[in-house]
Amino acid sequence: MSMLIQYLLLSAASLLVAAAHSNSVSTLNYTISNPHLPRTPKFVSSSKKFEGSSNLVNLRYHMGPVLSSPINIYLIWYGNWAPSQQLLIRDFLLSISPTPNRRPPSVSDWWRTVTLYTDQTGANISRSILIAGEHSDHLYSHGHHLTRLSIQQVIATAPFPVDHKKGIYLVLTATDVTVQDFCRAVCGFHYFTFPSVVGYTLPYAWVGNSGKQCPEVCAYPFAVPGYMGGGGPGALRPPNGDVGVDGMISVIGHELAEVSSNPLVNAWYAGEDPTAPTEIGDLCEGLYGTGGGGGYIGQVMKDRGGRSYNLRGRRGRKFLVQWIWSPTLKACAGPNALD
């Protein structure tokens, strides 16, 4: 996720001459637009079909495991969360598994790109994701500031079983919790727990609610940097009316895709340094639809209320989630592609 910060900095110069504009196409219930926003992705393609494609990307498999068994997510709500916020995140997670009659483009269609990744036996990442357990730590038992190490301590004290093969332990921090490097270098991250802290080696991820701390960084594109003043492009309206949590949804999707394809940091990534890998979400940071790149997020849908989205989920939910690098197309891809 540190690439997100880099993109905002790289795009600052172009914002001095860029004005807000978008081309919209009317449909029955929504419009399709490609807003110009403050982000220049690292990999920009001349291809009109799959933005982000590049012959320079050397994403390789390093022989480690992927999460090929049905995935169990163990949710830790750290701090105070509104029930409506928890329900929104649950709905996203429960939209990942395929369900009959789900309207496209769906969250499960988006996850299908993730499932193209395999391990050395040829087993694909699972299409099935279940919330296997939840724990609320509204007492802030490890304080209002967490480090990468204390996040593991949060996991160690949660009343969950040890799930080596299928588990992802997902820590979500509330708006009043500060986290090491949050807003400055990361919006979320994944790694594995240390036996010396947790007792076992388990894949985990953390994502923070940036709504009150740095929405212009971690809830992009629902907030834009202050340096744009009044002359730059405006932020998009979040599909569920919550800038912080709607912004978290894309980060959660990003981290789940990466922890599933690189759970022990020895499977799918680009680069030579496994401690700072470029992973399948990093390669498509800031791309949400066809035509993305150069400050454009890509063509996304806008409903009659002006709320932007590119995926549909359970119970009529709508989400805006970044694209993922496809190992078959060698490019960023998503189910809302228009060509």
| Per-residue pLDDT tens over the stretch 279-322 | 999 999 999 999 998 878 999 999 999 999 999 999 999 999 99
Q: What is the mean pLDDT of residues 160-176?
A: 97
**Separation between Cα atoms, residue 204 and residue 208, nearest integer Å:** 14
Contact by Cβ (8 Å): 325, 42: no
Contact by Cβ (8 Å): 308, 302: yes
**Separation between Cα atoms, residue 35 and residue 139, nearest integer Å:** 41
User: Residue 53: its pLDDT value, please?
Assistant: 54
| Per-residue pLDDT tens over the stretch 46-70 | 333 344 555 557 899 999 999 999 9
pTM score, two decimals?
A: 0.88
- 78 vs 41, higher pLDDT: 78
| Per-residue pLDDT tens over the stretch 319-336 | 999 999 999 999 999 999
155 Cβ neighbours under 8 A, 6+ residues apart: 76, 169, 171, 193, 198, 202, 204
Quickly count: other Cβ atoms within 10 Å of residue 196's Cβ: 8
Summary mean pLDDT of the chain: 87
CB contact burial 209-219 (16+ within 10 A = b; e otherwise): bbbebbbbbbb
pLDDT at 232 over 60: no
- 31 vs 216, higher pLDDT: 216
**Separation between Cα atoms, residue 254 and residue 263, nearest integer Å:** 13
pLDDT at 1 over 60: no
Which two three-digit tokens encode residue 97? 């598994």
Give φ, ψ of 326 to 5 degrees.
-95, 130
Quickly count: other Cβ atoms within 10 Å of residue 272's Cβ: 9
Beta-strand pair 178-179/145-146: parallel
| Per-residue pLDDT tens over the stretch 98-149 | 998 889 999 999 999 999 999 999 999 999 999 999 999 999 999 999 999 9
